[in-house]
Copies of this chain bind each other. A is one copy, B any other.
Amino acid sequence: MSVLIVGTIGLDTIETPFGRKNEILGGSAVHASMASSFYAQTAIVGVAGNDFPKEYADLLKSRNINLGGVQIIEGHTFRWSGYYEYDMNKAHTRDTKLNVYAAFDPKIPDNLKKSDFVFLANLDPEIQLKVLDQLDKPKMVAMDTMDFWINSKRDALHEVIKRVDFVLMNDGEARQFMETPNLPVAASRLLKLGTKAVIIKKGEHGALLFTDGVHFSAPSYPQQMLRDPTGAGDSFAGGFIGYLAKSNDLSQENIRRAVIVGSVMASFNVEDFSLDRMRRLKRKEIIDRFQEFKDFSEFETIKPAHIKK
């Protein structure tokens, strides 16, 4: 099964305590597709300006990522500039230039309309709806969003959530959108809006999965090597959907496994800027880190004899 990812392709200028990088390859669709490409055949729908560096396109193609749905138009590529302070938990935006995304009208190529697994990465929810309208019976659709759309396009966001299977949000966004500080409550409200499952990404605290009546708590990696958190959520989503597509199995057991795969991919992505860690990543490292996740979260059952009568 193949994966279609709709989102931004961008040039990021990023400052973290570990350095400053100018106009490096970034964007939600880029980070997500890179992570997905380790598992499934992956295609991007998006737009880039005619200033988009050929070497960046070549890097994505070298991962067999299908760029046939990427429009190249006269103008500048999307740019984001931001910095992280000492604790690196929060991205501070210096500047966002939508550039060619300002008038982005997504056109899904015919051969991609039948994609089985679709990830609507963070984008204007009205654009996400236009994508949904063009899909031909996808097996599973996941979406992400951000505080900016929660504040400015609440109704469209409700409509998207009603039409997708998985909603991915970070913890702050879920609390804000559902107007409660309690994450399990926020998740149950999101489920009531009509989606089948909610994944709350908590950065250094792992991720939570909520489906009707079932809850899964995924640990985070004890990350000592954190250089640049940009794209963590997108690489999580890409690993998650790529693994689901490849295994073509939407059982609770496999969804949990895919959440851990997403966590594994995010844990690698943050170890360096842009896709620098991901392009060096080996299959064996993924298997080993997944096993680490298992090892550091397993425990045995309680012995009732040790509780007083």
Contacts and interface: CB of A to CB of B under 8 A. Distances in A.
Nearest to A64: B308
A73 interface: no
A273 interface: no
Interface stretch (A85-93, A132-140, A145-153, A155-163): A85-93
A260 interface: yes
Contacts of A300: 253, 256-257
Interface in A54-90: 86-89
A182 B224 contact: yes
B217 A222 contact: yes
A271 B298 CA distance: 26
A212 interface: no
B222 A219 contact: no
A283 B296 contact: no
B182 A307 contact: no
* Interface size of A as a range: 35 or more
A291 to B, nearest CB: 7
Given A86-B181, A247-B306, A256-B298, 15 more contacts: A38-B307, A39-B306, A182-B224, A183-B222, A184-B222, A184-B224, A205-B206, A217-B220, A217-B296, A219-B219, A243-B306, A256-B300, A257-B299, A257-B302, A297-B297
23 contacts: A87-B181, A185-B224, A188-B224, A205-B205, A206-B206, A210-B222, A214-B296, A215-B222, A216-B297, A217-B296, A246-B307, A256-B299, A257-B299, A257-B301, A257-B302, A261-B302, A283-B304, A283-B307, A286-B307, A290-B301, A291-B301, A291-B302, A297-B297
